[in-house]
A and B are shown apart, each in its own frame.
Chain A
Amino acid sequence: MTGWARRRWLLIAPPFLWLLVFFLLPLGIVAAISLTQPADTIPPYTPLITRGAGGIEIDAGTASYRLLAQGDGRAYANSLGFAALATGLCLLVGYPIAFAIARAPKTWRNPLLFLVILPFWTSLLIRVYAWIAILQPTGVINRALEALGLIQAPLLLIYNGFSVVLGLVYAYLPFMILPLYGSLSQLDESLLEAAADLGARPAQVFWRVVLPLSLPGMAAGALLVFIPAIGEFVIPDLLGGAGTPMIGKVLWQEFFDNVDWPAASAVAMALVALLTAPLLLAQRLVERPREGET
Chain B
Amino acid sequence: MSRRLTLFRAAALALGFGFLYLPIALLVAYSFNASRLVAVWGGWSLHWYGELVRDDKFGAAAWNSLRIAAMAATLALLLGTCAGFAIERFTRFRGRAVFGFMLMAPLVVPEVILGLSLLLLFVASQAWLGWPAGRGLMTVTIAHATFGCCFVAVLVRAQLAGFDRALEEAALDLGARPFGVLWRVTLPGISPALVSGWLLAFTLSLDDLVVASFVSGPSATTLPMAVYSSVRIGVTPEVNALATVFLGVVILLIAGAFSLIARQERRRLSS
Q: Is A286 an interface residue (CB 8 A)?
A: yes
Output the nearest chain B residue to A117 by Cβ-Cβ distance: B254
A138 with B112, Cβ < 8 A, contacts A122-B250, A255-B214, A286-B104 known: no
A26 with B118, Cβ < 8 A, contacts A100-B10, A283-B104 known: yes
Q: Please determine whether A248 and B38 come into contact, CB atoms closer than 8 angstroms.
A: no
A18 proximity list for chain B (CB < 8 A): 79, 145-146, 149
A123 with B121, Cβ < 8 A, contacts A14-B79, A23-B106 known: no
Name the contact of A132 in the complex, choosing from B5, B228, B235, B246 (C-beta under 8 A).
Answer: B235
Q: Is A259 an interface residue (CB 8 A)?
A: no
Q: Is A93 an interface residue (CB 8 A)?
A: yes
Q: Please determine whether A170 and B19 come into contact, CB atoms closer than 8 angstroms.
A: yes
Shortest C-beta distance, B69 to chain A (Å), equals 12
Name the contact of B30 in the complex, choosing from A43, A133, A282 (C-beta under 8 A).
Answer: A133
Contact with B along A250-290 (1 / 0, CB 8 A): 01100110000100110010011001000100110011001
Shortest C-beta distance, A20 to chain B (Å), equals 7
A293 proximity list for chain B (CB < 8 A): 91
Shortest C-beta distance, A127 to chain B (Å), equals 7
Residues of chain A from 15 to 68 with CB closer than 8 A to chain B in the complex? 15-16, 18-27, 29-30, 33, 43
B residues contacting the other copy or chain, number (CB 8 A) = 94
Name the contact of A15 in the complex, choosing from B8, B91, B153, B231 (C-beta under 8 A).
Answer: B153
Shortest C-beta distance, A1 to chain B (Å), equals 5
A114 with B258, Cβ < 8 A, contacts A14-B82, A22-B121, A22-B146 known: yes
Q: Is B187 an interface residue (CB 8 A)?
A: no
B247 proximity list for chain A (CB < 8 A): 122-123, 126
Q: Is A86 an interface residue (CB 8 A)?
A: no
Name the contact of A12 in the complex, choosing from B38, B99, B210, B251 (C-beta under 8 A).
Answer: B99
Contact with B along A108-151 (1 / 0, CB 8 A): 00001011101101111111011111101011101100000000
Q: Is B12 an interface residue (CB 8 A)?
A: yes
Q: Is A199 an interface residue (CB 8 A)?
A: no
Q: A residues touching B (Cβ–Cβ < 8 Å)?
A: 1-4, 7-8, 11-12, 14-16, 18-27, 29-30, 33, 43, 93-94, 96-97, 99-101, 103-104, 112, 114-116, 118-119, 121-127, 129-134, 136, 138-140, 142-143, 170, 173-174, 177, 192, 202, 223-224, 227-228, 230-234, 238, 248, 251-252, 255-256, 261, 264-265, 268, 271-272, 275, 279, 282-283, 286-287, 290, 293-294
Q: Show 30 A/B contacts (Cβ-Cβ < 8 Å), sorted by A.
A: A1-B89, A1-B90, A11-B90, A12-B90, A16-B83, A16-B102, A18-B79, A19-B103, A26-B118, A104-B9, A114-B258, A119-B20, A121-B200, A121-B251, A122-B207, A125-B224, A139-B38, A140-B26, A143-B40, A173-B19, A228-B110, A231-B111, A231-B112, A233-B110, A248-B112, A264-B116, A268-B117, A272-B113, A279-B108, A282-B108
Which 3 pairs show the lowest CB-CB distances between chains A and B?
A: A231-B110, A26-B117, A96-B12
Interface contacts beyond A122-B250, A173-B19: sample of 6 additional A-B pairs, CB < 8 Å, sorted by A: A12-B86, A93-B19, A103-B9, A112-B13, A123-B246, A138-B39
Q: B residues touching A (Cβ–Cβ < 8 Å)?
A: 1-2, 5, 8-10, 12-13, 16-17, 19-21, 23-24, 26-27, 30, 37-40, 78-80, 82-83, 85-86, 89-93, 95, 99-106, 108-114, 116-118, 120-121, 123-124, 127, 142-143, 145-146, 149-150, 153, 169, 172, 177-179, 181, 199-200, 203, 206-207, 209-210, 213-214, 224, 227-228, 231, 235, 239-240, 243, 246-247, 250-251, 254, 258
